Amino acid sequence: MIKFIHTGDLHLGSQFKSASFHGTVGKNRRMELWETFKRIINRGKENSVDFLFITGDIFEEDVFNLGDIRRLRDSFLTLNDTKIIISTGNHDTLKKSSLYELIEWPENVYIFGNKNIEKFEFQELNTVIWGFSWEKNEYKSSDFLEFQDLDPNKTNILLIHGDLTNSESNYLPLDKNKLVSIGFNYIALGHIHKPKLISEKIAYCGSPEPLDFGETGVHGIIEGIVDKSKVNLELINFSKRQFQIKEINIDSLMNYDEVIESIINCDKKENKEKDLYRIILTGLIDRDIKLDIKELKSYLASEFYYVEVIDNTVLDYDLERLKEDNRDNVIGIFIEKMEEKDLQDPIVREALYMGLESLLQEKVVTC
């Protein structure tokens, strides 16, 4: 029986290109990635795990430097009683110019090669760890990978960075049935940032820290115990922060202060003080209420660690009054034509309101 931590997709050094952070939040978030990595190392030490499995994309190679890779190496040195097994991914490729090749790694760090599936044998643990490292940024097929026969008397584990969810992927598409048929006791996957249990023996660990608003929900590490006959896996919530998306439906009867209160009350105070929020406003809003998003964000800054607001509301109109006041012009005709359609259909109603907003603005300019 062996104990392990399975992690990957840390993306140390990330510039958060798919997020919309301002400078301070982005800088703090980069530091937090390192802090979480250090906490993973410490947890491995405290729990005396046999292995730390890292399934690719430890860092962003285009922004990492020699000092960063030495910092990574020095962290591994503190986990000297644990075997650290690394299969690289598409963001931290293993090639001649790779940072991996510029330093000498501690004896407890094992990095797979990039030509085919390789193995590291640990006789004292009756365990064989198999894996593959990326040499380039894309692999449209995994057919070139050749698997040797496994020794059924040993615990066999595979580490690989690839896509088990999309057979057309450019990022090493993997065949689940093929992998299962080989007979691994556990398959540790990287690349998909949301943790996902594919089966009782196959799992994506996900990113220990989420990187943008496409990665909501729990993020952490997988802790496991495995031998030839059983696997026990547990996803440990480990992230310092989560991304939260809250959709708030606005009623046309709400005044400005009530709109603000609905945003402030979207979650618990302790969550708002640590997590990153995207507030999406929907529904109908009084046409006399003017939402200045920049001003709104500034006001909400004291309530949230980080918040961004998207205004998808539609202005509410008194259709009967508008029709009566504009019976002899294009606005009245437009309302009548739209009323011939199904105004209960949200798409039709939104089209009506968007058209009215444009026509009314033109009327104001003309007058």
Q: What is the pLDDT of residue 89?
A: 98
Q: What's the DSSP call for residue 64?
A: -
- Ranked by mean pLDDT, the top range of 245-254, 263-272, 329-338 is 263-272
| Diameter over CA atoms, the chain | 91
Question: In the predicted model, is pLDDT for residue 366 greater than 80?
Answer: no
Residue 367 has pLDDT above 50, yes or no: no
Q: Which residue has the higher pLDDT, 247 or 329?
A: 247
CB atoms inside a 10 Å sphere around CB 37: 21
- pLDDT reading at 313 higher than 80: yes
Which tens digit of pLDDT belongs to each residue from 65-84?
999 999 999 999 999 999 99
Percent of the chain with pLDDT over 90: 75
pLDDT higher than 70, residue 364: no
Position 321 pLDDT exceeds 60:
yes
Report in angstroms the alpha-carbon separations of 32 from 25, 27, 68, 126, 330. Answer: 10, 9, 15, 37, 57
Q: Are 305 and 335 in contact (CB under 8 A)?
A: no
Mean predicted confidence (pLDDT) in 163-173: 97
What is the number of alpha carbons within 13 Å of residue 361 lying toward its C-beta? 8
pLDDT at residue 346 in the model: 72
How far apart (Å, rounded) are the C-alpha atoms in residues 359 and 276?
A: 38
Are the CB atoms for 209 and 219 separated by under 8 Å? yes
Model confidence at 363, pLDDT cuts 50, 70, 90, reads low
- For residues 45 and 47, give the distance between their C-alpha atoms in angstroms, rounded to a whole number: 6
| CB 281, CB 312: distance < 8 Å | yes
Residues 133, 112: Cα–Cα separation, whole Å:
6
Task: Give the integer Cα–Cα distance in Å for 354 and 304.
Answer: 31
The CB density around residue 90, as the number of other CB atoms within 10 Å, is: 20
- Provide the β-strand partners of residue 53: 6, 85
Beta strands 314-316 and 276-286 are parallel
**Buried-state track 184-194, b at ≥16 Cβ within 10 A, e below 16:** bbbbbbbbbbe
Q: How do residues 334-356 score in pLDDT, each as one tens digit?
A: 988 888 888 778 788 778 888 88
> What span, in angstroms and rounded, lies between the C-alpha atoms of 29 and 245?
18
CATH 3.60.21.10 fits 2-237, yes or no: yes
> 263-295: per-residue pLDDT in tens?
999 999 999 999 999 999 998 888 788 889 989
Element containing residue 188 per DSSP (H, E): strand 186-190
Mean pLDDT of 124-128: 97
Mean pLDDT confidence for 200-222: 97
Per DSSP (E only), the strands in 287-318 are 306-311, 314-316
Q: Are 310 and 301 in contact (CB under 8 A)?
A: no
122: helix, strand or coil? strand
| Better-scored residue on pLDDT, 176 or 346 | 176
What is the distance, to the nearest Å, from the Cα of residue 347 to the centroid of all Cα atoms in its chain? 31
Query: Quick one: pLDDT at residue 16?
Result: 86
d(CA 316, CA 343): 13
In the structure, what pLDDT confidence band is assigned to residue 244 with cuts at 50, 70 and 90? very high
Q: Given the DSSP bridges, would you call strands 109-111 and 118-122 parallel, antiparallel or unpaired?
A: unpaired
CA proximity to 225, closest of 317, 282, 157: 157
Q: What are the structural domain ranges in the chain?
A: 2-237, 243-366
Mean pLDDT of the residues in the chain:
93
